[in-house]
Each structure stands twice: as structure tokens, then as C-alpha cells.
Amino acid sequence: MQVASQLLAEGHRSRDPDASAPYGVSWAGEEKSSNWFDTAREFTERWHHQRQIRLAVNKPGIMTRELYYPVLDCFLRALPFTYGTVSAKPGTYVQINRPGGSPKSRSGISFRKRPSRRKLLGASSLKAIDRESALP
């Protein structure tokens, strides 16, 4: 396991993060993805499986900001694609707040259903961004 993980990490490390990945992150609606997003996808896979194992053997999880927030960030990028076909009136939105956030601090993100395109709203900056430009 350690050798396979090390080889995989070296492979991801050797790639140009902004170059095209060998596979698109299909669950985020992408036929083509950048290497950085493919690496993030791999991280979510490993995080998710370790979480399942920890739950099965009743061990505490690694729900730290350093390890869990990047997983959430990656998963949240798929929400506009996931909800894109849901029937909703224009202006309907989904808001996700991070743990510990408060309405006053506006911690989280929202995306609104628009007639012609989906939008993400970065609540920390309250700046609307097109889905395509939300990805680094």
C-alpha cells in the first residue's frame, strides 16, 4: 500500500497542475479536467475510503481543517453539475455553510438557478462567479 501510494503521489507531483489530465472528473460534469482537479479527485477517493474504514472500526476520523476542507471544496465544485437538471424557478438557490460558520460571517457558498447559466456565489467575498471561472 505504501509503495503504491508513493508511486501515485510521485505521478501526480510530476504533472503540470494546469495541463489537461488523462481523465475528466466526470462526477463534476467535466469531460476534460486539469491535473490539479484530477489530483483533488484522487485525494477525495482516499479520504472517503479511510473515513469508511474508521467508521467501521469505530475510530475517530481525521476531520481537520487541513484534510477535510479540501475534500469539501472538491465535492462542492460538483454541485452545480449535480443540481443543474433539477427543475427550479430562476433565482432558486442552494446554500451550504461550513461547520462553525454563522449567518453574520456568511461562511459558505451558494449557487443560484438562472435561466441561461449556473452561477456560484462565494459567500466569503459575496462575489458572483461563473462556474467555469470558479475553477483555478
pLDDT in tens, 1-32: 789 888 988 999 999 999 999 999 999 999 99
Query: Which structural domain, as residue segments, surrounds residue 71?
Result: 1-77
- What pTM was computed for the model? 0.67
- What's 21's DSSP letter? P
In a domain, 83, yes or no: no
Mean pLDDT calculated for residue range 119-126: 34
- Give the count of alpha carbons within 13 A of 46, CB side only: 14
* Residues 47 and 93 occupy one common structural domain: no
Looking at the structure, tell me whether residues 7 and 63 fall in a common domain. yes
Same domain, yes or no: 1 and 68: yes
pLDDT at residue 124 above 60? no
- Contact (CB, 8 A) for 23 and 6: no
Distance CA 90, CA 112 (A): 8
* Residue 47: predicted pLDDT: 92
Same domain, 64 and 131: no
**Are 14 and 37 part of one and the same domain?**
yes
Number of folded domains that form the chain = 2
Q: Report CA torsion sign: 56, 47, 123, 31.
A: negative
pLDDT digits (tens, 9 = 90+) for 47-91: 999 999 999 999 988 888 888 888 988 998 888 888 888 887 877
Tell whether 82 is covered by a domain: no
